[in-house]
Amino acid sequence: MSLIKIWEFGQMSIFFGTFRRASLALGLLLPGAAMADWELNMPKGVTGISAEVYDLHMLIFLVCVVIAVVVFGAMIYSIFAHRKSLGVQPAKFSHSTKAEIIWTIIPIGILVAMAVPAADTLIRMEDTRNSDLTVKVTGYQWKWHYDYIDEGFGFFSTLDRQSDLARQVGSGIDPSTVDNYLLEVDNPLVVPVGAKVRLLMTANDVIHSWWVPELGGKKDAIPGYVNEFWFQAEEPGIYRGQCAELCGRDHGFMPVVVRVVPEAEYADFIAANAPPKAEVVPASLSAPASEAVIAVPAAAPAPVEWSMDVAMGEGEGLYNAHCGACHQPNGQGLAAAGFPAIAGSAVATGDIAAHIDIGVHGRPGTAMAAFGPQLSDEELAAIITYQRNAWGNGTGDLVTPADIAAAR
Amino acid sequence: MSTATTTHGHEDHGPTGIRRWLTTTNHKDIGTMYLVFSLLMFFVGGAMAMVIRAELFQPGLQLVDPGFFNQMTTMHALVMIFGAVMPAFVGLANWMVPLMVGAPDMALPRLNNWSFWILPFAFTLLLSTLFLPGGAPAGGWTMYPPLVLQTGNAFPFLIFSVHLMGISSIMGAINIIVTIMNMRAPGMTLLKMPLFVWTWLITAYLLILVMPVLAGAVTMLLTDKYFGTSFFLAAGGGDPVMFQHIFWFFGHPEVYIMILPAFGIISEIIPTFSRKPLFGYSSMVYATASIAFLSFIVWAHHMFTVGMPLAGQLFFMFATMLIAVPTGVKVFNWVATMWKGAMTFETPMLFALAFVFLFTIGGFSGLMLAIVPADVQYHDSYFVVAHFHYVLVPGAVFAIMAGVYYWLPKWTGYMYDEKMGKLHFWISAISVNLTFFPMHFVGLAGMPRRIPDYATQFADFNMIASVGAFVFGVSQLLFAWNIYKCARGGKKATAQVWEGAQGLEWTVPSPAPHHTFDTPPVVK
Amino acid sequence: MDQTHGYYVPHSSNWPFVGAIGLFLLMFGVSTALNGAGFGSWVAWIGVAVVLFMMVGWFGNVISESEAGMYNLAEDRSFRMGMTWFIISEVMFFAAFFGALFYARQMAIPWLGGEGNNFFTHLFLYPEFSAEWPTNGPNALGGDYQVMAATGLPLINTLILLTSGVTITIAHHALKENNRSLTAWMLFATLSLGFIFVGLQAYEYYHAYHAMNLKLSTGIYGSTFFMLTGFHGMHVTLGAIMLTVIWIRVLKGHFTPSHHFAFEGVAWYWHFVDVVWLGLYIFVYWL
Ligand code: HEA
Ligand code: HEA
Ligand code: CUA
Ligand SMILES: [Cu+2]
């Protein structure tokens, strides 16, 4: 990062172009007006808990303000009234047991008064019993996977394509032209309104944290452990949040979107997605493999003929979604960040078995995760075929789902 | 900061030139080296913060790759904490503790030199990772596994530089404890010690008790990555969260390590410029000790979202809230010291006053963070970033600046430029709020921390924060310039320097001679 | 407190800076070696050599100053306090690893087995796993292994260390009574016991690796076992070397019945190593 660049940046007209907005912001700060459409505070949210949390937040905030007024008031008074330039003589006192006892006891009282409602809310937050619906949430670098474990299906939820294009360094796309920039996903989590939804949170690689402010909080997704979190949304709507635990390069780009819908719409959603009993999973490559926990119908052979065209066609999108963050859509990788290029890579142009192996099993101890558990045979076959043929790799190899299955 | 001492004081027959600094055992020389090193690191860490703020100036990625952004965040924090703030306090302790207790030097002078010289090497190791393939560590200063285990070549450099910093801090702390406990002038009983000495004594205990724990934690990271252990790996029966417990057992006391000496400095400055004795001296001492004690039983308030059992959450919430009580006692005592005093407002006092206001604001947001149900909303958002910068920048850093202005005449023998000092203060005080106050808003509105790019509704406040940060950054050049000028010359300082100043350090001439108190003074 | 008069403040010294360079080379070398650079371990060994050189030089200075009578009670007290706090910092270093052991045994393992609020952890991720100690985790990392028994070698080692605690105490009393030959003999006994301990420990490791398939990579049990006993073993080795130095100094006629800080410092260190072992024996081998 050159300092020159920052300097030029300061000089650039962007500064003036956006200056208007900055002055607007300052303007809003002063009169305290027009705060309605201005997000300065914690949202009240749409769950009982989130509203309680909001009230608690306002309570402690106001208590702090009151104490601040008293303490700062005394200080400011003394700064103005007890200054040498007014010719005052300094007093000599240096302690007062009475005063000190008072200002030890009173804060303790205030703290107790805060602690009681806080503990009360906390105990309710921790009560995960009697849920109506359970979804297993798995954090991946850098996407979420939702498993409707009672219904037997699941899907990945990744950053929306529009945002993804706009957020590349030097993309030239103005983020303000993208709807819900960075807060939109391809497949949101869908839940019925009024239901107590229990989320079982875990992660596949590193720690992530699932956070939607309007649903009243966050919970860490920890690899190797399952955490519980619940919410009960009272109003239909679309609620947005982000991963809140640093999880690597694209931590800023794994949003959480929850659609809270009326019961009927939810039923439609389930009907459209749940695998009808005994029927075959459609080879639609966007339906990924679920975790082993629930009995997923065995992946039957794809109805479509597996060909170079199919593999390359599906491979590109899948590659961009799952590998592009590191190896980059142009296959050049990011040497500076330790992500090797696939274009011209010895692995991607050499032995097929080794290439499949790294795709399925990853490289332990590096950011290169095992994609075997994340992706279906078809998906991985398409991606690897794509990697072996795109960007002039041109090996002409067609990897089939059976090859992947054999390597698992 | 001071080169003037070479020409004054009685002759030292040691080596001259660069070898003098490499081999010195003099507490003043070593203090000076610590302070210069710290200023340098403040600028390095600050430059990284400027990269962060430049990227966050507006939505979209304009300048840096997200991976590099994470490197900047991580390195910024490590450099500021271990390179700027801690060494600054150690430097102040080196200079002032022997002067304040009437000792001829630190108790273990050679060890003192070693403690210092390890630091530049530690930071060479750490900063060199910026030039390694794969870049610097990017897992956050908290180094949580499994993410940090994905660090490439920089990983062992990170671990071993932390080890070196730990060795340096522990030896420095031992030296300070021994000096205070063993080298006091006759009559200087514990309860006559200046508060800066007291707060440092307690800080040194904290350092000795927690730095080795950090060393243990990062050692486990090292073996998990390279030697197949599974401390933080569930498959082998470990737990990634275990690292967080061990880290924060160090990390929370660490934040008090960065604030207790600041309390000490402020407790020296306010009485001086109020021309009135410190209010409630002994309750200040007890409050400091209570804060230190409590700091050991609150660590998990950084981990309210990891899925701790309810009882644990309640315990850590209550314990954390309790810290407001002794800290409040301190704040009230400072106010009571000013009350009915005869105040003047030279630069050190201005910084001290800003400290009291702004640290308290940071303390309030800390208290809000302690409330678990609210923290699950605040956690890992910019609200936390706002909190800790309030306690660290207008908190710890302002206190250091106040201390530097306060004691600079004693070090150099000259008065610094008061006008420039005041200018530095006002620009800093305004811009620091411009930088960090809006972070409360975006945090509450849902902006997570450690992200290089953000949704458009956070744009305006981020822009304000960035502008504030640039102004704050540039205004620090005034600070450096003022120090440089003051070391070079100016109006001669008297021994007492400040009208209301009390204490042994003001009984020796300005600049303090190379050797002081060879014959111990007698304190009545 | 009034002893500060004429407190000995050494003028400049090269050794600390040399030490800093040594540590830097050591750490830089190990880092590059871990990154796979061939020269790394060379650099590390040079670092070790520099550190050793520094220690010989620095301690040499201190010893000759001490023998020249430049230290009086105040300096002596500084050294004692310094040593005490150094040992406390070492205690905290071990506390981190003991903490890891307790956390794994009391928290992590039961949770993986489904206790507390981790019912689903067990149900979803490790339905086969039953929480018990010792364990190499739900995925049985490192494969089948045998558990290190508390009897046999470890018990012998415990007795050795306890005995060495007694011998060093006898040596100390003998020194105070100016019985120098007893001091020397008892010191010799102590350091011999120390080295025997290290030898047996090395044998135990060899046995663990080759006959029991118990390794550093044997899940959390192997990790805690080897890290705790390994760091302890390193401290015993260091302590035994320090004892050797003290022994040689006694043979050379150093120390007086009233003035022997270095001796006491080493004795304290030795007791610390002893106590850590007792903790280890109880929590790592026995319970
Ligand atoms: C100098 C450093 C410093 C100091 C002094 C503090 C002081 C406090 N901190 Fe802060 N804290 C940090 C540095 C510091 N902190 C850092 C660096 C982090 C983030 C680390 C990371 O994740 O990277 C952090 C994070 C942090 C968290 C975790 C947030 C999260 O990640 O979710 C919490 C939660 O409890 C917390 C609480 C507190 C409290 C209660 C205090 C108290 O000590 C404050 C007490 C002071 C007052 C309350 C004001 C004065 C008192 C009165 C005027 C009396 C009357 C008042 C009342 C009765 C209310 N801090
Ligand atoms: C003592 C500690 C300390 C100090 C002093 C600071 C000082 C500053 N910090 Fe720091 N910060 C931390 C400790 C500290 N910080 C920690 C612990 C984190 C968390 C890291 C993590 O998440 O892991 C953090 C994270 C952090 C973030 C969040 C990053 C993220 O979450 O992605 C931001 C964002 O604005 C920030 C900004 C700043 C700024 C603007 C300053 C300013 O005060 C700095 C001002 C100083 C200078 C600017 C240097 C002097 C001047 C020059 C170099 C001249 C040149 C100037 C220009 C070119 C303008 N800091
Ligand atoms: Cu996932 Cu941050
Ligand atoms: Cu804390």
Distance from CA of C35 to the nearest CA of B (A): 6
Tell me if residue B27 is catalytic: no
Q: Could you give the CA distance from residue B402 to residue B57 in angstroms, rounded to a whole number?
A: 30
Q: How far is the CA of B453 from the centre of ligand 3 (A)?
A: 13
C-beta atoms of C11 and B12 within 8 A: yes
DSSP class of B69? H
Q: How many CA atoms lie within 13 A of A91 on its CB side?
A: 13
Torsion of CA B81, B83, B89, B91, to 10 degrees: 180
Phi, psi of B237 (to 5 degrees): 95, 5
Torsion of CA B457, B459, B460, B465, to 10 degrees: 130
SS3 A167: coil
DSSP class of B325? H
Q: How many CA atoms lie within 13 A of B32 on its CB side?
A: 24
User: What length is written for chain C?
Assistant: 287
Range from A25-29, B65-69, B201-205, B420-424 carrying the lowest mean pLDDT: A25-29
pLDDT at position A195 is: 92
Phi, psi of C121 (to 5 degrees): -55, -45
CATH match for C1-71 among 3.20.20.10, 3.30.870.10, 2.30.38.10, 1.10.287.70: 1.10.287.70
Active-site residue identified among B27, B163, B225, B302: B302
Q: Could you give the CA distance from residue B398 to residue B427 in angstroms, rounded to a whole number?
A: 13
Range from B111-125, B292-306, B307-321, C113-127 carrying the lowest mean pLDDT: C113-127
Tell me how many degrees the CA angle A3-B160-C12 measures, rounded to the nearest 5: 90
pLDDT at position A288 is: 40
Whether residue A302 is predicted with pLDDT greater than 80 in this model: the reply is no
Q: Report the phi/psi class of residue B130: left, alpha or beta, with left for phi > 0 and alpha for psi in -120 to 50.
A: alpha
Q: A12: Cβ–Cβ under 8 A, 6 or more apart, which residues?
A: none
Q: What is the pLDDT of residues C258-283, one digit of tens each?
A: 888 889 999 999 999 999 999 999 99
**Element housing B53 (H / E):** helix B27-55
Q: What is the pLDDT of residues A189-224, one digit of tens each?
A: 999 999 999 999 999 999 999 999 999 989 999 999
> Comparing B13 with A360, which gets the higher pLDDT?
A360
Q: Could you give the CA distance from residue C141 to residue A104 in angstroms, rounded to a whole number?
A: 54
A189 forms beta bridges with A258
Q: Which of A225, A228, A229, A366 has the highest number of chain C CBs within 10 A, making it the mutation to test binding with C?
A: A225
C-beta atoms of A337 and B65 within 8 A: yes
Q: Could you give the CA distance from residue B67 to residue B65 in angstroms, rounded to a whole number?
A: 5
Whether residue C5 is predicted with pLDDT greater than 80 in this model: the reply is no
Assign A23 a pLDDT band (cuts: 50, 70, 90): very low
Q: Could you give the CA distance from residue C257 to residue C174 in angstroms, rounded to a whole number?
A: 9
Q: What average pLDDT does the structure give for chain B?
A: 93
Whether residue C161 is predicted with pLDDT greater than 90 in this model: the reply is yes
- Predicted-complex ipTM score: 0.90
Q: Could you give the CA distance from residue C111 to residue C138 in angstroms, rounded to a whole number?
A: 11
Would you list the domain boundaries of chain C?
1-71, 72-286
Q: How far is the CA of B332 from the centre of ligand 4 (A)?
A: 22
pLDDT at position A164 is: 87
Assign A27 a pLDDT band (cuts: 50, 70, 90): very low
Tell me if residue B267 is catalytic: yes
Q: Could you give the CA distance from residue C209 to residue B228 in angstroms, rounded to a whole number?
A: 14
Q: What is the pLDDT of residues A110-126, one digit of tens each?
A: 999 999 999 999 999 98
Task: For B55-66, give one letter per residue: b (16+ CB within 10 A) or e.
Answer: bbbbbbbbbbbb
C-beta atoms of B125 and C111 within 8 A: no
Q: How far is the CA of A368 from the centre of ligand 1 (A)?
A: 37
Classify residue B359 by burial, with Cβ atoms within 10 Å: 0-12, 13-18, 19+. buried
Q: At C150, list the tokens.
A: 């508390």
- Which amino acid, residue A62? L
Q: Could you give the CA distance from residue C93 to residue C81 in angstroms, rounded to a whole number?
A: 19
Helix, strand, coil share of chain A (percent; to 5): 45, 15, 40
DSSP class of C105? I
DSSP class of C39? T
Assign B20 a pLDDT band (cuts: 50, 70, 90): confident
Q: Could you give the CA distance from residue A59 to residue A211 in angstroms, rounded to a whole number?
A: 23
Residue with tokens 């390193």: C234
Protein residue whose Cα sits closest to atom 44 of ligand 2: B46
> Which residue from C111, C112, C117 is facing A228, i.e. has the nearest CB?
C117
Smallest Cα–Cα separation from C229: which of C175, C279, C160? C279
DSSP class of B140? T
Q: Which of A226, A228, A290 has the highest number of chain C CBs within 10 A, making it the mutation to test binding with C?
A: A226
C-beta atoms of C16 and B104 within 8 A: no
Contacts of residues B423-426 at CB distance under 8 Å and 24 or more positions apart, as own/partner, are: B423/B478, B424/B347, B424/B475, B424/B476, B424/B478, B424/B479, B424/B482, B425/B347, B425/B350, B425/B351, B425/B354
Distance from CA of C112 to the nearest CA of B (A): 7
Assign A365 a pLDDT band (cuts: 50, 70, 90): low
Smallest Cα–Cα separation from B265: which of B494, B480, B95? B95
Contacts of residues A171-180 at CB distance under 8 Å and 24 or more positions apart, as own/partner, are: A171/B60, A171/B61, A173/B60, A174/B60, A175/B59, A175/B60, A175/B453, A175/B456, A176/B59, A176/B456, A176/B459, A180/A240, A180/B455
Whether residue A86 is predicted with pLDDT greater than 90 in this model: the reply is no
CATH topology (fold) of C72-286: Four Helix Bundle (Hemerythrin (Met), subunit A) (1.20.120)
CB contact at 8 A, B355 and B399: yes
